Amino acid sequence: MKAFLQCVFVLFLSGFLCGNIYFWVDESGTKHYTNVTPPEGKTVEELLESRKAFAKLASGENTQQKFKILKIFDGDSLQVMALDLVFSIRLVGIDAPEIGSEDLKGQPFSLEAKAYLEHLLNNREAGVKSYGADGYHRQLAEVFADGKNINIEMIKQGLAEVYKGDPPKTLDLSLYLKEEETARNSWKGIWKLGKSYKSPKQWRRENPRK
């Protein structure tokens, strides 16, 4: 049994449950579940209950479960938690201006986009509707707070555009596109830049991170 507890089990979930599930018990005996890397040096294992919890929380059919907002990374990505499960979220269907780094200047309106997402979500609980996972094991999801679809709110404010890649087949982008056209015609946010505006996709291509 002791040898078993020293093993690390990696769970590859099918369909939208992509990524790893880790389970460990801390010094106080509290159980923890996460789909991001656990603390270094912790003894981790996989339990059936972690599969069930993850499946329930990430289900696209269940947006009643409330998630605590842990961190806003930028205008379209964040980290949330529920029942000790930590999720990395990429707001599906939208693309916000890219924030810079130490060696790379940020895109215009990138800080405004992050600040507005913080305004919408900080100190709130949110519902999450998952549409699967991306290549970085983040949940592609719509996030709901105060009766609003936060993804669409970012579009309405002109602080994100509709994602130019291939969306999940079950995601209806018709309202996203309609709100983007309204924001563009109203010269909100990124659309104030006019002909000098570059989509985040183009910006990433021209400014690759080292």
Active site residues: 90, 98, 138
CA distance 31 to 25: 5
Q: Count how many residues are written for the chain.
A: 210
List, in order, residues 6 or more apart from 103 with CB less than 8 Å away.
Answer: 210
User: 25 pairs with which residues across the strands?
Assistant: 31
Name the residue with tokens 């579009």: 155
DSSP state of 74: S
Q: How many CA atoms lie within 13 A of 56 on its CB side?
A: 13
98 three-class SS: coil
Q: What is the largest CA-CA distance in the chain?
A: 65
CA distance 131 to 156: 21
CA distance 209 to 204: 8
CA distance 198 to 107: 9
